[in-house]
Amino acid sequence: MGDLTGQTQANTNKEFLHIQNSNNGLDAALRTVDSGDGTDSKLELSTTKVNVADGFQMNGKDTKWIKSSILFTMAVKALEAKLA
């Protein structure tokens, strides 16, 4: 966590991440993570799931290829099974 020494709460609230759940913390329902000023992020969290809406990147690269790669691998395995 960043150094908050000498900072007032009013000057740092926008930097905190937050979920709306009546001060009950995380539970099994996906909840949008927002900033201290109420700006929603694309990240949703629960105690059992993580969801990123509208795109996801790893190391700065789009991950849409993952689904295509999985489908291609499944198709190849199905074809191999038929040819065996």
Chain segment 9-64, per-residue pLDDT in tens: 667 777 788 898 998 989 999 999 998 888 999 999 999 998 888 777 777 777 77
pTM for the whole structure:
0.59
Distances (CA, A) of 56 to 7, 50, 53: 33, 12, 8
pLDDT at 5: 78
pLDDT band at 2 (very low <50, low <70, confident <90, very high): low
pLDDT at 50: 87
